[in-house]
Amino acid sequence: MHNVQVRDVPPEIYEALRSEAKAEGKSLQQHLLAVLDEHTARTRRQALFRRLDDVLGDEPVLTADPADAVRAGRDEREARDNTRAEDYE
């Protein structure tokens, strides 16, 4: 593991972080590590979204209307059920 040291933290920021840590039942170190982890994850997600946007551009992800897909599935099932019913007649 690596160590990070931050110098000259303004008192109001230090107190806010310490208060947040206390409210979460964590040490200041645990809280700061969680804050850094969250920031890093957010940064990675944003980079991924930018890459996806570059690849997809303005093209919609879904080109078909979901209602049409549901309707087609129901029609297919109904046709299959009708065929089975005719087999028993």
Number of domains in the chain: 1
Range of the domain at 33: 11-87
Question: By mean pLDDT, which of 3-17, 37-51, 57-71 is the weakest?
Answer: 57-71
C-alpha 27 chain-centroid distance: 28
Give the predicted TM-score (pTM) of the model.
Answer: 0.58
Could you tell me if residue 2 is inside a domain? no
Q: What is the mean pLDDT of the chain?
A: 90
Could you tell me if residue 42 is inside a domain? yes
Show the CA angle centred on residue 45, arms to residues 65 and 16, nearest 5°: 125
Could you tell me if residue 78 is inside a domain? yes
Could you tell me if residue 77 is inside a domain? yes
Could you tell me if residue 68 is inside a domain? yes
Could you tell me if residue 74 is inside a domain? yes
> How much is the pLDDT for 85?
67
Most confident of 11-15, 71-75, 77-81: 11-15
Q: Is residue 42 scored above 70 in pLDDT?
A: yes
Could you tell me if residue 3 is inside a domain? no
Could you tell me if residue 1 is inside a domain? no
> How much is the pLDDT for 57?
80
